[in-house]
Structure 1
Amino acid sequence: MRVNLSPLSILAALAVRSVSAVILPNITARQSNTFSTPVIWEDLADLDIIRVGTDYYYSASTMHYSPGAPILHSVDLSHWVFIGHSVPTLSFGSNDYNLAGSHAYVRGIWASTLKHRPSNGEFIWLGCVDFSKTYVYNSPAITGPWSQVSVINNCYYDAGMLIDDDDAIYVAYGNTQISVAKLSADGKSQVSTQQVYSSTVGTIEGSRFYKKNGVYYILVTGPPSKEYVLKSTSGPFGPYTIRSLVLDLPSPIDGGSPHQGGLIDTPSGDWFYMAFVDAYPGGRMPTIAPVTWSSDGWPSVQLVNGGWGTSYVSPLPSQPLGTLQGTDTFTSLGPSWEWNHNPDTTAFQINNGLVLRTATVTNDLYAARNTLTHRILGPKSSGTILLDVTNMADGDQAGLAMFRDMSAWIGVKRSGSTKQIVMVNGLTMSGPNTTPSWQTTSTGQTIATASFTGNQVWFRATADIRPGGTNAATFSYSTDGTTFQNLGNTLTMKTDWTYFMGYRFGIFNFATKALGGSVTAKSFTLALA
């Protein structure tokens, strides 16, 4: 998690079947594999990656989106599918996470940690929320059910967990001053904690904790472009010495330098470093490179002409498990979807599609509950929804947004008995340096309209999220699902990092007059453009 200011100063200033979880038939023919950059062109930052047997699992930050901490699965480190979330709902003791009169934008789940405990087969996730307390979730299986089992009255900021050979649980954490905590045998409370390293290289954070051949390692990032390794041969509490792993490398995708990642091995003993690249407006994208170990126990990333390679030959055979593209017909709510804050569960249902009843009376999309979001697939993709608006009520507004702290949308407004297709641009938020932070500064302006008399309409948003690309999002609609008509102007997406999360597609329905109306999203199609 990149923080250019201190964490406290920022805080003070501040199941539809998933498209990405469609499982293909068993694959018997294994082909050669290549690690491309990025490995997954979606916003999946602050990663923690683990291996259980021959399966790999990946956890990422989600901030104010719910459910939180998505879990992805791979067997070849190249092809990934969403399979669940470690945090079913943002139950962090604050109504802000319900978006019911207050909000938790850019709070919630920052860099957290996921581990498997071999002694009992349990999976453990923990993370610090609001720089205050650390929440612990457990599950008997990676796909759940996940339950909050403990709240530790200490902030393990940017935590990295280690299950030691003797089954003891340790957590490395901190910003610049790195500490290690030992947890109780059940992993639900703190036994002790002590500082183990004070940085000599500036700000460091993003801890990831490992043990190899009896030696303890803590990976830490120097945001936004460096990664260091702390090494101890004297146990988990050090002392630690430091060396660099990657420093200010040229970007492999015209974005930032790879940093803040984790180490992962294969059953045959190959090692890799998986990091992320700042690649706004899309977010932070994971990338992977091989690692070798020196005779004195230090890891090194394999570079190509002095930089991170745009691709590497993989020792693992290619085994795709599914696809990130395709059409979701909303027969259940799958793990590639996340709500903007906790949803009002009484205001949506699965019934021949995703029925979204109005949950908020407002003229502000940022204040409207039950906006369902999906990551954009890079380098350029479109999201298309089929929306049934038969049951919209007077004053309702529903459609498809490009959602971030500067947003735009295309949709339907109903006034009296009249429905009108509109494109709205210029929705903005104040940012982190206001009190309170992330307040709505504009609810947008209607740029263009089109007449509409039917009950079903397709809306499409197309986004170019390449770093150094056009950063453009455009909007169109169709009344037959085949011929699309552009409407309105272009949203030039923001490329700064302070919101942390990248742009997303957002499906919404809110009331400006009174609750009672509804729309049904019949399908969502994600396709490269």
Structure 2
Amino acid sequence: MKAIRIFFILFLLQLQALFLYGQFSERWGDQKNGTYVNPVLPADYSDLDAIRVGADYYAISSTMQFSPGMVVLHSRDLVNWEIIGHVVKDLTTISPELNWNRMNAYGKGIWAGSIRYYKNRFWVYFGTPDDGFFMSSASSAAGPWEPLHQVWKITGWDDCSSFCDDDGQLYFIATNFEFDRKTNKQYNIHLFRMRPDGKNLITSSDTIIHQSKGSEANKLYKIGGVYFHYFSEVKEEGRVMMIERAKKLTGPWEIRQLNHVNAKLDKEPNQGGLIQLPNRKWYFFTHHGTGDWEGRAASLLPVQWVDGWPIVGAVGEDGIGRMVWSATKPINSKKHLGIKGSDDFSSPSLGGQWEWNYQPRSEKWSLTQRPGHLRLHAFKPINSSGTRGSILMAGNTLTQRSMRTRANTVTIKINIDHMADGEYAGLTHFSTASYTTLGVRQSGNERHLVYEYNGKDTVGARITANTIWLRSTWDIHGKNTYSFSMTGRAFVPFAGVTQLTWGSYRGDRIGIYNYNVLGDKGFVDIDWFRYRY
């Protein structure tokens, strides 16, 4: 009877998860009635870590090849978040492959990291699969961040975290996911002591504290005098949250599974940060490891302590947590925060929502050459044929995350008066799996509207005006339609409906592009970018 009862409870939970996940784009985040619905950020905020400092909450999210790198988020209630900056200004300090003239690191670049606050500073550590581990610190999470420092040049490692013990000793934990001939295993989790400045490892202190299939997502905590090592691993049911605890960092460690997962229903929440509120309640801010076209979205899960273990989500009869799709808000904050999308380009710097695809060519874009406009100068994509270039290899494409909500509309007003022969400019959606563009192509002295889908063009009407409005509209399923206007009022759909996609562990991006397959010539001015979701 007990087995039947557990099965029935699990069945009801799965039905609830299926219903809520199927509706999550209709209802997400703060419901304005004291409750919230997951995800709280329905877009690509992957590889999260989060902390509390006083009454403020901070999180970081990996950015891979996008620049500036490692986005920093801020919240007052753990439900409503804003972007306040990035840790890495110049990706070429990591690798030349991340520059506009290489663009050779899709799926690589800045992977998961940790954010911590100790010694009166914020500390961010992260790794790349090819270049090793890096760190930076700042007195404010909004920056400025210190120049990037390489902690260890190594390949085949990921998912690191720093930790400051009560005596001030610094530690560093990370996973070696490659095969280790000494242990004859993969996914060995190593613990090191660090030098007092936090910039170098004491390699002689290297200790393997855990190994299991796919064990990553490392975080270290000390709670009530007990050390907790959080990580995730791959079991038959999927990637689950795990934790081990010990009275000493040297062990012995006890281990416990924190949640059950269903990849189709709950999208495997796993990578994230454990946070205690001032009222002593606990939450876990996490991404969903199984991504869809919007990427790996972010959810907030309540935590219940059971026999000294932080169980994530709704605690089942077996003492293991399940996904929670709605709950009471942790904090009622009067400060209204949100992810900004629109930009009129009147500021001397780009808004925090913007990230370039790879490190941009700095002399080829400007916010000052025509005040109140973003000017993009065209140059050749890498490996362009002279008749066609790929948006995936075109430098200075300015992007932001595509939200998965009920209705999403992006509109840009673009001046094309100074386009040149061979130039393409407009609006794009892209991932490494597929891409589309709608824009203007100049050939000789003529300009035409052109739609591209994975390298295939559909040419439209000749454009004689100097200004055009371009629009992209997509729904909760990622079905996108482009349209255009010559007046800014009536918009005409162009080409068919396409499906937004994700690729290389990144969600779809909406972006503005301008390139020239014949050479470095021509420019466009974007008057504004309006994003309603």
Task: Indicate whether the TM-score tops 0.5.
Answer: yes
8 Å Cα contact 2:380-2:518 kept in structure 1: no
Superimposed CA distance per residue, residues 44-83 of structure 1 (whole angstroms, 9 cap, x where no aligned partner): 0100101111100110010000100000110000100000
Please point out which of 243, 259, 262 is paired with 1:229. Answer: 243
Cα distance 1:372–1:326, how it changes in 2: closer, same or farther (>3 A)? Answer: closer
The code of the aligned residue for 2:137 comes to N
Deviation at 1:255, TM superposition (A): 5.6
Superimposed CA distance per residue, residues 99-127 of structure 1 (whole angstroms, 9 cap, x where no aligned partner): 3145221111011111112x2x2221111
Report the counterpart of residue 485 of structure 2 in structure 1. Answer: 478
8 Å Cα contact 2:291-2:505 kept in structure 1: no
Report the counterpart of residue 400 of structure 2 in structure 1. Answer: 374
8 Å Cα contact 1:80-1:320 kept in structure 2: no
Aligned to 1:490, what secondary structure does the other structure show? Answer: strand
| Residues 1:411 and 2:416 are matched in the alignment | no
The code of the aligned residue for 2:343 comes to D
8 Å Cα contact 1:375-1:503 kept in structure 2: yes
Cα distance 1:501–1:206, how it changes in 2: closer, same or farther (>3 A)? Answer: same
Structure 2: where are the runs of 5+ without partners? 1-31, 178-186
| Distance (whole Å) between structure 2 residues aligned to residue 93 and residue 41 of structure 1 | 29
Cα distance 1:93–1:51, how it changes in 2: closer, same or farther (>3 A)? Answer: closer
Cα distance 1:93–1:273, how it changes in 2: closer, same or farther (>3 A)? Answer: closer
Deviation at 1:454, TM superposition (A): 0.9
Structure scoring higher RCO (CA < 8 A, sep ≥ 6) equals 1
Report the counterpart of residue 241 of structure 1 in structure 2. Answer: 254
8 Å Cα contact 1:359-1:370 kept in structure 2: no
8 Å Cα contact 1:255-1:279 kept in structure 2: no
TM-score when normalising by structure 1: 0.84
| Distance (whole Å) between structure 2 residues aligned to residue 308 and residue 130 of structure 1 | 30
| Distance (whole Å) between structure 1 residues aligned to residue 216 and residue 489 of structure 2 | 49
Deviation at 1:199, TM superposition (A): 3.0
Deviation at 1:279, TM superposition (A): 3.6
1:69-468 equivalences under 5 Å are 69-117=70-118, 119=119, 121-155=120-154, 157-174=158-175, 175=177, 176-192=187-203, 193-200=205-212, 202-223=213-234, 225-234=239-248, 236-249=249-262, 254=265, 256-277=267-288, 278-295=290-307, 297-303=308-314, 307-324=322-339, 327-331=342-346, 332-350=349-367, 351-361=371-381, 362=384, 363-379=389-405, 380-405=407-432, 406-426=434-454, 444-464=455-475, 466=476
Cα distance 1:292–1:64, how it changes in 2: closer, same or farther (>3 A)? Answer: same
Aligned to 1:247, what secondary structure does the other structure show? Answer: coil
| Distance (whole Å) between structure 1 residues aligned to residue 152 and residue 330 of structure 2 | 43
Cα distance 1:99–1:501, how it changes in 2: closer, same or farther (>3 A)? Answer: same
How many matched pairs? 468
The code of the aligned residue for 1:137 comes to S
| Residues 1:522 and 2:527 are matched in the alignment | yes
8 Å Cα contact 1:392-1:519 kept in structure 2: yes
Aligned to 2:392, what secondary structure does the other structure show? Answer: helix
Cα distance 1:315–1:514, how it changes in 2: closer, same or farther (>3 A)? Answer: closer
Deviation at 1:273, TM superposition (A): 1.3
Cα distance 1:315–1:256, how it changes in 2: closer, same or farther (>3 A)? Answer: closer
> Identity across aligned pairs (percent)?
30
Report the counterpart of residue 27 of structure 2 in structure 1. Answer: none
Aligned to 1:96, what secondary structure does the other structure show? Answer: helix
8 Å Cα contact 2:49-2:272 kept in structure 1: yes
Bigger Cα displacement from structure 2, 340-349 vs 98-107: 98-107
8 Å Cα contact 1:249-1:308 kept in structure 2: no
Deviation at 1:168, TM superposition (A): 2.2
Report the counterpart of residue 441 of structure 1 in structure 2. Answer: none
Bigger Cα displacement from structure 2, 145-154 vs 411-420: 145-154
Deviation at 1:513, TM superposition (A): 1.1
Deviation at 1:261, TM superposition (A): 1.9
| Distance (whole Å) between structure 2 residues aligned to residue 127 and residue 456 of structure 1 | 43
Deviation at 1:459, TM superposition (A): 1.1
| Distance (whole Å) between structure 2 residues aligned to residue 419 and residue 110 of structure 1 | 41
| Distance (whole Å) between structure 1 residues aligned to residue 245 and residue 97 of structure 2 | 40
Deviation at 1:358, TM superposition (A): 1.2
The code of the aligned residue for 2:210 comes to S
8 Å Cα contact 1:390-1:455 kept in structure 2: yes
Superimposed CA distance per residue, residues 190-212 of structure 1 (whole angstroms, 9 cap, x where no aligned partner): 12443343335x22111122110
Deviation at 1:326, TM superposition (A): 5.5
8 Å Cα contact 1:76-1:319 kept in structure 2: no
| Residues 1:494 and 2:514 are matched in the alignment | no
8 Å Cα contact 1:352-1:522 kept in structure 2: yes
| Distance (whole Å) between structure 1 residues aligned to residue 256 and residue 199 of structure 2 | 33
8 Å Cα contact 1:196-1:237 kept in structure 2: no
Aligned to 1:457, what secondary structure does the other structure show? Answer: strand
The code of the aligned residue for 1:233 comes to K
| Distance (whole Å) between structure 2 residues aligned to residue 373 and residue 149 of structure 1 | 23
Structure 1: where are the runs of 5+ without partners? 1-30, 427-443
8 Å Cα contact 2:95-2:131 kept in structure 1: no
| Distance (whole Å) between structure 2 residues aligned to residue 99 and residue 239 of structure 1 | 48
8 Å Cα contact 1:248-1:257 kept in structure 2: yes
Aligned to 2:495, what secondary structure does the other structure show? Answer: coil
After the TM superposition, list the runs of 4 or more consecutive aligned residues in structure 1 that deviate by more than 6 angstroms: none
Superimposed CA distance per residue, residues 89-148 of structure 1 (whole angstroms, 9 cap, x where no aligned partner): 21345321113145221111011111112x2x2221111223442111122221111123
TM-score when normalising by structure 2: 0.83
| Distance (whole Å) between structure 2 residues aligned to residue 182 and residue 403 of structure 1 | 42
